Amino acid sequence: MPIFEHNATFPFSRQTVWNWHARPGAVRRIMPDWEGIRPVQVGGITDGAVTEFRMSIGIVPQRWVAKHHSYIEGEQFCDDSIKGPFARWNHVHKFVDGGDHEMTIEDKIDWKLPFHFFSRIGAPIMVMPRVRTMFKHRTRRILADLTRQQMFKDAPRRRILISGSTGLIGTQLGAFLETDGHDVHRLLRPSTKLHADQNPDNIVRWNDQTGEILEGSLEGFDIVVHLAGAGIGDKRWSKKRKNLIAQSRSVPTENLSKALAALESPPGVFMCASAVGFYDNRGNEELDETSIIGDGFLAKICKQWEDATIPASSAGIRTIIMRTGIVTTAAGGMLKQILPIAKMGALGPIGGGKQWQSWISLDDQIYAIHHLMNQEDAEGVYNLTAPNQVTQKEFAKTLGKVLRRPAFAPVPGFTMKILFGEMGKSLILDGQKVHPKRLLESGYRFEHESLESALRDALGRFNSSSRSS
């Protein structure tokens, strides 16, 4: 029968690596961005726990249900597929002690497809390449997460509240902090539904437009991270949509800021999202946190958004504003939208391709937030962008290289204006060259300095030359 084996050695104690796997958030962190896996039920790794995912194999949607067994604390857990695309999938995870500063995870999977004939011919083509890529991603993610977490292992565990916790960044940030042992809670609007792997007991519900707390309390949190807001690039900018973009940022931020300032036990740190749209279209100008504001719609929105934090900072709460660039992940955002075009080889320079794109990998977005919340002197504005910005033409060329697709077909700028209107001009045809000056000065080291490294990690297109910086 087909057997897959994978060994990964880590420069940490066995207990450290085991704890990471045993905590909430681990399942989310090891799921590859490019697979589109959605957890339906997550029951942990102890005997009898059941985990269920929705996923696709090609264009066929699949339901995968696994039941855990043979749990040995600190040493082993196993899971068998009880429903899914495989006739058998028995997975053993062993944690082998190598001393105080080294351990090895030994994975062994006994599997077969519904028909044994398909197992024989399908393994080298359909199954093993995909499985090997997933385990390479898993190894890289565990190593990167633990490396970042161990930098601040002696700091106290915090009680952290996150708004926008079901969004692209908030979901991964919460999972990362949970694997680090923090007590993570989520600030939700009445209509917001948690993901299956998020704790329904650790929530605060509020009316973000009035500031009224409907369930739970804001008291007693060490850190509040505010990420909520309507998606800027999700829909064409009608007058109604622009109002929603504005109202979903400035009003809730001001309400939250005032509420935190009035608490008996306020947080020590308030971290609020913003965007590089603050600088608007600036051509080849070198921009950092000291650069003046731009003139466009997004610049005005970002200014209102940032100014709404003043009640908190005026009350003595250390406030950090994070101006984020284009987050590169196959799970959402700009990259997910352009992938179908890029895979067809039809993504080339748009409107000449000279406009600058200030990007950041999803991992660096998470790690930078974690880094700043652990810097006792961090305060004010920080640009969350990679240090090596690229033009849109370079972005398209690099993505084509990673996908092994051509990327030279030019797209006239007026096409973007016709398709997307003002949004297309602001997000695609305009650009800014934003440098993370203060983040680098604070001692942060990027996981992905190069765009190619970030794209290969986000898309699972690893090769021998790709590496984390």
Q: What are the domain boundaries of the chain?
A: 3-150, 159-459
pLDDT at 467: 41
Superfamily of domain 159-459: NAD(P)-binding Rossmann-like Domain (3.40.50.720)
- Domains 3-150 and 159-459 alike in fold: no
Residue 132: predicted pLDDT? 92
Tokens representing 313? 């900072």
Tell me the torsion sign for CA atoms 213, 217, 218, 223: negative
Q: How far apart are CA 26 and CA 28, in angstroms?
A: 5
Q: What pLDDT does 464 receive?
A: 58
Task: Enumerate residue ranges in the chain where pLDDT < 50.
Answer: 465-469
What pLDDT, in 10s, does the model give residues 6-43? 999 999 999 999 999 999 999 999 999 888 889 999 98
* C-alpha to C-alpha distance for 443 and 445, rounded to whole angstroms: 6
Tell me what pLDDT residue 125 has. Answer: 63
Which CATH number applies to 3-150: 3.30.360.10, 3.40.50.720, 3.30.530.20, 3.30.1490.150? 3.30.530.20
pTM value is 0.94
Identify the pLDDT of residue 58.
Answer: 66
Q: Pairing mode, if any, of strands 223-226 and 159-163? A: parallel
